[in-house]
């Protein structure tokens, strides 16, 4: 199948040009909006709170989360550091922008910006069917009102509890 730019709305696909630096954020935004529908969520309009409500059943068992964290890759190490940081203040109030995370973790902005892409590749290769163990949303979503036009990351209280328990 090839997807080529087209204005034909009957094709099933719509071409939307997105600057390369925003592609990870757009994909995460779409996943946050569409995932509840795929998983059979009851909400007719999947909101960030619907995504959070589904998070405890997202497939990340203790064993899988430990396997991911122990992979020894730069991606798993960076995500583990993210989860450590985000678990200190879970849910919406603890949402951190890409820039805030980069600063807090002493990483380059470009490294944090690319984490969603790297995680997607890792999950596709080693953890088929799982979504990222964190919650990532676009900054203009209801999740982060008036906090800018940037990607934000957070964890649910349940994930924070699981992560802290596993890291002891």
Dist CA 161 CA 88 (whole Å): 10
Cβ 138 vs Cβ 148: under 8 Å: no
Q: Which two tokens stand for residue 61?
A: 């068992």
Residue 109 CB partners (closer than 8 Å, separation 6+): 98, 99, 102
Q: What is the pLDDT of residues 58-90, one digit of tens each?
A: 889 999 999 999 999 999 999 999 999 999 999
Cα–Cα distance measured from residue 161 to residue 152, given in angstroms and rounded to the nearest whole number = 20
Question: What's the pTM value of the predicted model, to 2 decimals?
Answer: 0.64
Span 101-159, pLDDT tens digits: 999 999 999 999 999 999 999 999 999 989 999 987 765 455 544 455 678 899 999 99
**Structural domains for the chain:** 20-167 (1.10.10)
**Integer CA distances (angstroms), 17 to 29, 45, 167, in order:** 15, 25, 41
Closest CA to 154 of 102, 103, 87, 100: 87
Which residue do the tokens 């805030």 mark? 100
């Amino acid at each position: 199948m090839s997807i080529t730019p087209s204005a034909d709305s009957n094709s099933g696909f719509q071409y939307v040009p997105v600057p390369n630096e925003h592609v990870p954020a757009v994909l995460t935004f779409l996943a946050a909006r569409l995932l509840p529908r795929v998983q059979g969520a009851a909400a007719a309009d999947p909101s960030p709170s619907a995504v959070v409500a589904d998070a405890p059943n997202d497939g990340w068992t203790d064993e899988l989360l430990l396997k991911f964290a122990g992979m020894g890759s730069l991606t798993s190490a960076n995500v583990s550091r993210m989860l450590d940081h985000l678990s200190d203040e879970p849910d919406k109030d603890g949402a951190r922008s890409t820039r805030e995370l980069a600063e807090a973790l002493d990483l380059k902005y470009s490294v944090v910006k690319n984490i969603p892409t790297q995680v997607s590749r890792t999950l596709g290769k080693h953890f088929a069917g799982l979504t990222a163990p964190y919650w990532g949303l676009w900054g203009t979503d209801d999740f982060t009102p008036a906090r800018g036009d940037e990607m934000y990351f957070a964890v649910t209280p349940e994930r924070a509890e699981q992560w802290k328990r596993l890291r002891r």
